Amino acid sequence: MSRAPLMPKATAVWLVENTALTFRQIADFCGLHELEVKGIADGDVAQGIKGLDPVTGGQLTREEIEKGEKDAEYRLKLLEPKVNIAIQKATKGPRYTPVSKRGDRPDAIAWLLRYHPELPDSQIMKLVGTTKTTIAAIRDRTHWNAPNIKPVDPVSLGLCSQIDLDFAVQKAARKSGRGYVPDAEPVRTLIPAAAAVAPAEPHHEEAAPHAKKHEEEEYDADSVFAKLKGLKAPSEDE
């Protein structure tokens, strides 16, 4: 079949319980496997699922069911809907935000503005599902609830996924020409063995001549004898 009924398992449960259709007919109509329908009949599959009447739901007629019950080779036909509802395609605008999480959007916007100022307003709008006016009000602190807004990671609030956030940040960095470059760390190499085991004696050897010279100046022999000559021994006459 090209199109399956609404809630196929619930529809199969109702058909198993209320008709004499074969497992093959129900499986073909609901888009299920024949063994899966047999499991529903045995109570092994779809436990706790309440049957959905396809007749009252406008998906099948009583006459169509009777035809199938009379002929096991007959394939049931799904009724075409009377009103064609156009399927909306995904747009590039802001994503839908559940009502329960809309109160968290100002905190998420404040976090993005503080920690990722490179993000344009259009990216913030897509991440948290907000408007440009709200972003401007939070940036200028003219938002009606500005005193109570606290920066909170939108991922932890469940407003966007970490993958979407990382992708938006990388895209903004590429456009601004400031690719993410981690802080460069100095390359650490092993200390040469010669430097590690060499004794620190050269420094003492350089200082040794000065100390020796100082000792020679302090204990100069000439100066000592000169002082001794100045001391005359007392004569015997005296």
Give the residue ranges of the chain where pLDDT is below 70.
1-2, 81-101, 177-238
Is the torsion defined by CA of 32, 36, 40, 46 positive or negative?
Answer: negative
Q: What's the pLDDT at 23? A: 93
237: in domain = no
215: in domain = no
> Which of 148, 176, 204 is the endpoint of a domain?
176
Q: Which domain holds residue 35?
A: 8-70
Contact 59, 78 (CB under 8 A): yes
Are residues 108 and 148 located together in one domain of the fold?
A: yes
Instruction: Look up the pTM and report it.
Output: 0.38
Q: Which residues contact 115 (CB under 8 A, 6 or more apart)?
A: 151
81: in domain = no
Nearest to 153 by CA among 144, 162, 145: 162
223: in domain = no
88: in domain = no
Are residues 121 and 161 located together in one domain of the fold?
A: yes
Rounded (5°) CA angle 59-65-67:
130
Q: What's the pLDDT at 121? A: 92
Contact 166, 204 (CB under 8 A): no
CA distance 105 to 117: 17
Structure tokens at 169: 């940040």
21: in domain = yes
Q: What's the pLDDT at 46? A: 74
The owner of tokens 């200082």 is 207
Query: Among the residues of the chain, which ranges form H helices?
Result: 8-18, 23-30, 34-42, 62-70, 105-115, 121-128, 132-139, 154-157, 162-176, 193-197, 201-218, 221-229
Q: What's the pLDDT at 220? A: 58
What confidence tens digit (pLDDT) does each residue in 80-108 have? 766 554 444 544 555 555 555 677 899 99
Are residues 44 and 112 located together in one domain of the fold?
A: no
Other Cβ atoms less than 10 A from the Cβ of 82: the count is 6
Are residues 103 and 171 located together in one domain of the fold?
A: yes
> Tell me, what DSSP letter sits at residue 191?
P
Q: What's the pLDDT at 96? A: 57
CA distance 216 to 232: 26
Q: How far apart are the first and last CA of the chain?
A: 150
Nearest to 138 by CA among 117, 166, 164: 117
Q: What's the pLDDT at 182? A: 42
Q: What's the pLDDT at 91? A: 47
Contact 178, 118 (CB under 8 A): yes
222: in domain = no
87: in domain = no
Q: Total structural domains in the chain?
A: 2
